Amino acid sequence: MNIITKKSQNKDLRHISVIMDGNGRWALKNDLPRFEGHKKGAKTAKCVIKYCLKQKIQYLSLFAFSKENWLRPKKEVDYIMKLLSRSLINEKKFLIENDIKLKVIGDLSNISPSITKLLDQAINDTQNNKGLTLLIALDYTGRWEILEAVKKLSSDISKNNVDINNIDEPQFKNYLQTSDIPDPDLLIRTSGEKRLSNFLLWQLSYTEIFFINELWPDFNETIFNNIILEFKNRERRFGKISEQLNNSSMNT
């Protein structure tokens, strides 16, 4: 079957998630200190937000900082945090002007109060925006999020607020930080690494994954548009068979 001309089903693209990898290697390749890679990486993140606006994507989630990233040299962690606070200050106007709603997922208990204050302000100032929802994962891992959900659910069970026999996947999703966000349709990871690295472990169950070789700071609109084109030609069967997707009478 011709993959380019085949009429695909379920090709709706609401939510794109990205593991922005390769900043350090980009810096090394260009004979620059690592922080220059992160600086260029932050600029690339803004470009990707603009590509999503152009393509009318509803949700973009970016893995900005994992719990494991605290283990990096303090100087690098400090720089990433500085970049984040600078972005929050400089880009709030951009978020507002472009109808972007900011959300954050993650622990945040280790993030400095000056940054959480900036985050709270930006989240508050963009809460009524209706265009793109930008989800930043900060001090986040998927396992941490699932454990937190299990703790809250267990507490509700022990208080008899929830009947253990009635727990299903939609109800469990309500306990996740992404309870009000549809699962990603597409995940992009740059830099040639082929792993999920603890990102959105529950939510990525049926996501189409694109592992690409380009380093994050080199990511551009052509690559983005080509991925979307290939995504639209993938058949998302969600466990069913092709014939069921093409014949609505078999769709049960």
- Of 17 and 191, nearer to ligand FPP (C-beta) is 191
Which is nearest to 24 in space by CA: 82, 73, 62? 73
Stretch that binds ligand FPP, among 81-89, 154-162, 199-207, 243-251 (CB under 6 A): 81-89
Q: Residues binding ligand FPP: what is the number (CB under 6 A)?
A: 19
Among 13, 64, 100, 187, binds ligand FPP (CB under 6 A): 64
Q: Which residue is nearest to ligand FPP (CB)?
A: 24
- Give least dist CB 178 to ligand FPP, A: 17
Calculate the dihedral angle through the C-alpha atoms of 88, 93, 96, 99, rounding to the nearest 10 degrees: -100
Q: In 3-state terms, what secondary structure has residue 77?
A: helix
Q: In 3-state terms, what secondary structure has residue 208?
A: strand
- Give least dist CB 188 to ligand FPP, A: 13
Please give the residues from 153 up to 192 whose contact with ligand FPP meets the rule CB under 6 A.
191
- Give least dist CB 117 to ligand FPP, A: 16
Which is nearest to 137 in space by CA: 42, 61, 37, 57? 61
- Give least dist CB 122 to ligand FPP, A: 12
HSE (CB half, 13 Å, CA atoms) of 184?
Answer: 25
Q: By rule CB under 6 A, what string of x and - marks binding of each residue 9-48 to ligand FPP?
A: -----------xxxxxx------------x--xx--x---
What would the 3-class secondary structure string for 197-221 be?
CCCCCCCCCCCEEEECCCCHHHCCH
Stretch that binds ligand FPP, among 80-88, 104-112, 139-147, 234-242 (CB under 6 A): 80-88
- Residue 106 binds ligand FPP (CB under 6 A): no
Q: Helix (H) and strand (E) counts for the chain?
A: 8, 6
The residues carrying an active-site annotation are: 21, 69
What would the 3-class secondary structure string for 157-197 be?
HHCCCCCHHHCCHHHHHCCCCCCCCCCCCEEEECCCCCCCC
Binding site for ligand FPP (CB under 6 A): 20-25, 38, 41-42, 45, 62, 64, 69, 80, 83-84, 87, 136, 191
